[in-house]
Amino acid sequence: MDHVIGGKFKLGRKIGSGSFGELYLGVNVQSGEEVAVKLESVKTKHPQLHYESKLYMLLQGGTGIPHLKWFGVEGDYNVMVIDLLGPSLEDLFNYCNRKFSLKTVLMLADQLLNRVEYMHSRGFLHRDIKPDNFLMGLGRKANQVYIIDYGLAKKYRDLQTHKHIPYRY
């Protein structure tokens, strides 16, 4: 594919898909940096990418929160560009024959709890906690856990009043 997103991200090969749409490898044509490009059809019944991009912006600066590089509409797709990350905890667990050492479990658990706690401190519940939604970083950040996929996240607390928002069915 020779599509350029947002005037500066070249779309590469497909690296994943799910209920949300499709995930592609991308490259910043100016810097050569590799990125992840998430595509969602504008015709989808339950669009969530715009909402998810707003959460990325709101959570920016937190440890283990991928950096949102661009969001917009390109042709028939809502498009979000974020940091390219490494394997998910699910991938890692399978790679390790579904066994982690105690040291690894403790290192991961500490980071997982910190990521969830950070989201809660910003007034949001993730609501889709699973190994596939925690990714390891790359390069110098290979030991850092990132939390992704905020499409189902919900505000649970007003940040001004700190009052709990009533649950709606």
User: Mean pLDDT per segment of 10 residues, for the chain of length 169 residues?
Assistant: 87 87 96 98 93 97 98 96 98 98 98 98 96 97 97 90 82
Strand partners, 71: 80
What pLDDT was estimated at residue 168? 77
What pLDDT was estimated at residue 21? 83
| Second-level CATH architecture of 89-155 | Orthogonal Bundle (1.10)
Collapsing DSSP states into helix, strand and coil, what is residue 3? Answer: coil
* Domain 4-83 superfamily per CATH: Phosphorylase Kinase; domain 1 (3.30.200.20)
Q: Which of 77, 90, 87 is nearest to 38 (CA)?
A: 77
Question: What is the rounded CA–CA span in Å between residue 98 and residue 92?
Answer: 8
Strand partners, 125: 154
User: Which DSSP letter does residue 130 get?
Assistant: S
The answer to whether the beta carbons of residues 87 and 95 sit under 8 Å apart is yes
For the annotated catalytic residues, the residue numbers are: 128
38 marked ligand binding residue: yes
Strand partners, 74: 77
Fold equal for 4-83 and 89-155:
no
The reported pTM is: 0.93
Domain ranges of the chain: 4-83, 89-155
Question: What is the rounded CA–CA span in Å between residue 43 and residue 10?
Answer: 23
What pLDDT was estimated at residue 2? 67
What pLDDT was estimated at residue 162? 81
DSSP state letters, 42-85: TT-SS--HHHHHHHHHHHTTSTT-PPEEEEEEETTEEEEEEE--
